[in-house]
Amino acid sequence: MSGQQQDRSSSSQVFQPLGGDDPTTIAGYRLAAKLGAGGMGKVYLSYTPGGRPVAIKVIRPEFGEDPEFRRRFAQEVQSAQRVQGLFTAPVIDADTDGAQPWLATAYVPGPSLADAVVAHGALPVETVLLLIAGMAEALHVIHGAGIVHRDLKPSNVLLAADGPRVIDFGIAYAADATSLTGSGVTIGTPSFMAPEQAAGRRVTSATDIFALGQVAAYAATGTPAFGEGTSHGVLYRIVHEEPDLTAVPERLTELVTRCLAKDPEARPSITEVIALCQSANAETVLRRPEHWLPGAVAADITVRTAAPAPVQTPPPPASLPSAAYSPTTPATPPPGYGPPARQPAPQQYATPVRAQAYAYAYAPTQVPTHAQVYPGPSMHPAARPPKRAGKRGAVIALAAALVFGIGGGGAAYLLLKNEGQETQGSGPSKGEQTDSGDRTADPKPAPKPDPKPAVYKGINLTAGYHLTLGDDDVRPQEGEDGGYELSYDTGGYLDAETQDGNLVLLDPGQEGSLAACRADTRFTKNLYLNKLSKGRQVCVTTGTGHMGLLTVQGFSAEGSPSTYMTLDVTVWRNAVGTDSGS
């Protein structure tokens, strides 16, 4: 259960100012902006006392007046507090008994899948596979808490930098049996309902699997699998007709077809869904959530990260909890979220999907619990007391005495000289003659000459292959995940594979050379092909000490049986740190 998807009509404005009919606070949470509104209520941006952004969904008053809704809402909130998956937005606070029910979840700075597809079109196959695998894991923990989502749709999936987030689980169940369902309020979205749901039959976890297949088809094609139109027409097609999958990429056909089986028993389990994503990925693992979105969609995350602060910030309380901040929730927030809990957390019984069931990795978002703590308050430089010359001299004298006792007077001279060169005449200066006749000058070693370039013309680098610049014969080799130095990832981007490796896209007309590659520091780990064109050059620095220059000569034709790019590659081996300025 959550709620921070944005109304499509206002997607151009992420953070909307509060209106005259909007509250300024909710149970101690001071509101900063409105995130959106929907059939169930409005969503606002706020912050915890520790500064973490949260999304607060305030339920519409007419739902709050229905006693059956309140009963179900309280039940779903209690269940939702047990959902702590990596791909859900955790519920951290709620009030199910107040005049107007509300709940707060962690704020996810990312567009909804619906907004992303409307703004940028269908997603690449690799992105869809990571999307569905993450959503499947989210459904695992949601179903493990005894919840069926019932309203899994693109606007209830947020696209974060490290993977998707499924939100609003459980709210459809709370509203399903209210008196409002017969008076113009639709619970569930027709285009993404399952046949049993549309026919009014029993809803199970398999219902969410059907919706998962519909979301996959929508993400890959930009249109719903059963078309659009009136609700009655769409629901009829869902119950009685087969979906139109002609535009679904071939690698996704089996996944989508099996999820959209009319019979709930014939649909795959969550583990099987993830296995289908693996096989369709043509690799043994699903990886790289930090680069899983196309560049245009990823840019939208930056806009949503710059969340505004409340206009008026209450003074910090002397101690927590305080009367100025008194949420009414019985929830137990996870570490780093929300106010202190009033009662112990419910026992978690949702078991994560075992690693051996699927072999893909998403970057964790939890803050490490072993952070180093530095004692003592920090001080602004202006507030620090001036150093005492006498105390400093005593420290230097003591250090000099110790060094004299261990290594002789020469070492003490170096200690005193390096400490600040404030004492004149404490030893011979650089270049002066010493008693032994030696000179203390330390001339700079002669710079190493630049390595000679090795040039490789017309390399056809196929997607899923890599180059190792340290090889005597630089040629494509199969594999895109490993300790290589440069790969063409099937996700449609060049990847600096080695640790400390990076790429720099040179500007049009900028001369590609060893000096240019050494000087330019606009580093990136990945470079999407939509940024490249014939003649563009890319500097490559490897973690193994080599530097390279790629010159794009062309790309595979549309009808080609393989996807590749043609490159001229120049390699300077062992060039890192050998220039005269190093």
Q: Which residue has the tokens 């040629």?
A: 475
Most confident of 52-66, 94-108, 199-213, 566-580: 199-213
Q: Name which of 164, 170, 150 is nearest 1 in CA terms.
A: 170
What gap in Å lies between CA 463 and CA 22, rounded to an integer? 51
* Model pTM score: 0.53
- 547 and 518 Cβ atoms separated by less than 8 Å: yes
pLDDT in the model for residue 484: 77
DSSP 22: S
pLDDT digits (tens, 9 = 90+) for 200-250: 888 999 999 999 999 999 999 999 999 988 888 999 999 999 999 999 999
Q: 473 pLDDT exceeds 50? A: yes
pLDDT digits (tens, 9 = 90+) for 165-205: 998 876 655 555 454 444 444 455 788 999 998 888 889 99
Mean pLDDT of 132-136: 96
Inter-CA distances, 561 with 333, 463, 471, 564, Å: 52, 12, 28, 10
pLDDT in the model for residue 77: 81
Q: 363 pLDDT exceeds 70? A: no
Mean pLDDT of all residues in the chain? 75
pLDDT in the model for residue 582: 39
What gap in Å lies between CA 531 and CA 130, rounded to an integer? 22
Mean pLDDT of 347-363: 37
Q: 457 pLDDT exceeds 60? A: yes
Q: Higher pLDDT residue, 388 or 298?
A: 298
State the DSSP H helix or E strand holding residue 302, giving kind and residue range, or none if neither: helix 295-305
pLDDT in the model for residue 287: 64
pLDDT digits (tens, 9 = 90+) for 237-284: 999 999 999 999 999 999 999 999 999 999 999 999 999 998 888 664
**Signed CA dihedral, 37, 38, 44, 45: sign only:** negative
Mean pLDDT of 12-19: 78
Catalytic entry in 66, 93, 95, 151: 151
pLDDT in the model for residue 43: 92
pLDDT in the model for residue 310: 62
Question: Is the backbone of residue 250 left (phi > 0), alpha (psi -120 to 50) or beta?
Answer: alpha
CATH code for 8-305? 1.10.510.10
pLDDT in the model for residue 439: 47
Residues, the chain, total? 582
Q: Cis omega (within 30 of 0) on the bond before 321?
A: yes
Mean pLDDT of 331-335: 41
- Annotated catalytic residue 151: yes
pLDDT in the model for residue 38: 74
DSSP-based three-state secondary structure for 467: strand
What's the pLDDT band for 289 if we cut at 50, 70, 90?
A: low
What gap in Å lies between CA 421 and CA 416, rounded to an integer? 7
* Strand 526-528 versus strand 53-59 pairing type: unpaired
Q: Which residue has the tokens 């996870």?
A: 334
pLDDT above 90 coverage of the chain, percent:
34
Q: Higher pLDDT residue, 104 or 436?
A: 104
What gap in Å lies between CA 325 and CA 338, rounded to an integer? 11
User: Both tokens of residue 314?
Assistant: 């209450």
Q: Higher pLDDT residue, 581 or 477?
A: 477
Residues of the chain with CATH 1.10.510.10: 8-305
Q: 382 pLDDT exceeds 80? A: no
What's the pLDDT band for 444 if we cut at 50, 70, 90?
A: low
User: Both tokens of residue 183?
Assistant: 């008076």
Mean pLDDT of 340-362: 38
What's the pLDDT band for 344 if we cut at 50, 70, 90?
A: very low
Q: Higher pLDDT residue, 353 or 136?
A: 136
DSSP-based three-state secondary structure for 143: helix
**R_g of the chain computed on alpha carbons:** 31
Query: Where do the H-state alpha helices sit in 362-482?
Result: 389-407, 409-418
Q: Higher pLDDT residue, 60 or 344?
A: 60
pLDDT in the model for residue 171: 66
What's the pLDDT band for 158 if we cut at 50, 70, 90?
A: very high
pLDDT digits (tens, 9 = 90+) for 528-580: 887 888 899 999 999 888 999 999 999 988 778 888 999 999 999 998 865 44
pLDDT in the model for residue 283: 60
- 488 and 494 Cβ atoms separated by less than 8 Å: yes
